[in-house]
Amino acid sequence: MSETTAIDDIRTAVTGLLPGIRQDLEDLVRIESVSADPARAGEVRRSAEAVAELFRAESFDTVEIVSAEGGAPAVIAHKSGPAGAPTVLLYAHHDVQPETDHAEWDSPPFEPTERDGRLYARGAADDKAGIAAHLGALRVYGDDLPVSVTMFIEGEEEVGSDTLPALLKEHRDQLSADVIVIADSGNWDIGVPALTTSLRGLVRVDVTVRTLTHAVHSGMWGGLVPDALITLSRLIATLHDDRGNVAISGLQSGPAADVDYPEERLRAESGAVPGIEWIGDGSAVERLWTRPALSITGLDAPKVDGASNTLVASARAKISLRVAPGDTTENALACLRAHLEAHVAWGAELSVALVDTGEPTAIDATGPAYDAARRAFTEAWDGTEPVDMGVGGSIPFIAEFLEAFPQASVLVTGVEDPDTRAHGANEGLHLAEFEKVVKAEALLLRNLGELPRG
């Protein structure tokens, strides 16, 4: 069989399989597997059982539901390919984000609904479509796989993957692979595929400033005693320079891929109000992918409505610091602490409480597995080569995979596009792009199976 015929056969097979793949995806989406909601722990369990049943239906050699340290259930399944062929680990997660206010959705969040070529529902993209894409690629080959495949479908990614390190340790032999495909990212644009090669890390802290032991009358003491809100505001203002660059000494940054991010697309995708100016220096993708960023994501202070005429004794802010690839969360936290301690004004009491961290990731996307992936993407997208893309957000577990399996080539792919709206209302999967994702993964498995053995 010629290579051209093989590609055509895979395309035809995927097109024929799509209705069944979509039905399985819709069935998974209807399960409210919100891992952040203790009241829906049973739904998370039901989701894991449904995923396991899908693998059993594909005649996997082994299918097991596992958990560690009281964590959410994950599914590990294995199906053997030809002797001597590479083993490929396919990762996705079956838990989803809370659906937020139902009134913000144009259709019920757990009832998959198609509109204008998209399938809308919570988890329709992030990340139950990742599970469906893996299944679709496997169904192309049936019991004639070109590689051995291990499926690892996690159940607590949306709440930080706290027990993932324990799972990787306890099931190391089952999960060991030559290539790991993590389907939890996205593509550069509709019609333009991507490999994600860098992700920023995360340090979150709660910062409390106290200037008084109790609130006092603002007329009696204002002008002499600093209030905590003014003090905290001054401290927050020191975290950026006048151009909007993060002004914390010692943080690392680096170059980004030479990718153009058009102004009109930036404005449309960001939701920026008309006239807003961008902050920071460097290219747009450097500021979004490979430089630190800092935001205040929460503030504890008296509400404006009903506020009394008193000096506020203490105020608290949650600081979210995105850590550039090449840096470490240990260094970033130390630099942030040192900055806050050096810049708190007027002798105010300062406390800094660590909330959580997640390491940044930089992947050296060179070698046979990455070449195989780029060929597969180019073929699936009809000649459009993939972009090496960074992600400004954090997926800390990728660093944990790299640490646990240093010999493996880790490919970060996904089903999302710039308008997916993962984590928000009206999350949607672009169905035509999803078909390309399934084709690409089927072609990737073929390409990996053709690599020299030994």
Instruction: Quote the CA–CA distance of 26 and 102 in Å, as a whole number.
Output: 19
Structure token digits, residue 78: 């294995």
The number of angstroms, rounded, from the C-alpha of 186 to the middle of its chain's C-alpha atoms is 9
Question: 74: exposed, middle or buried (C-beta count within 10 Å: 0-12, 13-18, 19+)?
Answer: buried
Structure token digits, residue 397: 């577990």
Closest CA to 109 of 184, 40, 193: 40
Q: What size, in residues, is the chain? A: 454
pLDDT at 4: 53
Structure token digits, residue 101: 């206010």
Q: Which residues of the chain have pLDDT under 70?
A: 1-5, 454
Encode pLDDT of 52-92 as tens digits: 999 999 999 999 999 998 899 999 999 999 999 999 999 99
Encode pLDDT of 214-229 as tens digits: 999 999 999 999 999 9
Closest CA to 154 of 173, 178, 182: 182
pLDDT at 70: 87
CA distances (Å), 366 to each of 348, 355, 369, 372, 423, in order?
A: 51, 35, 8, 10, 31
pLDDT at 454: 56
Contact 106, 414 (CB under 8 A): no
84: CB partners within 8 A, 6+ apart? 453, 454
Place of tokens 């590689």: 147
pLDDT at 7: 87
- Residue type for position 91: Y
Contact 387, 193 (CB under 8 A): yes
Q: What's the pTM value of the predicted model, to 2 decimals?
A: 0.90
Contact 124, 43 (CB under 8 A): no
- Residue type for position 1: M
pLDDT at 89: 98
Question: 274: exposed, middle or buried (C-beta count within 10 Å: 0-12, 13-18, 19+)?
Answer: exposed
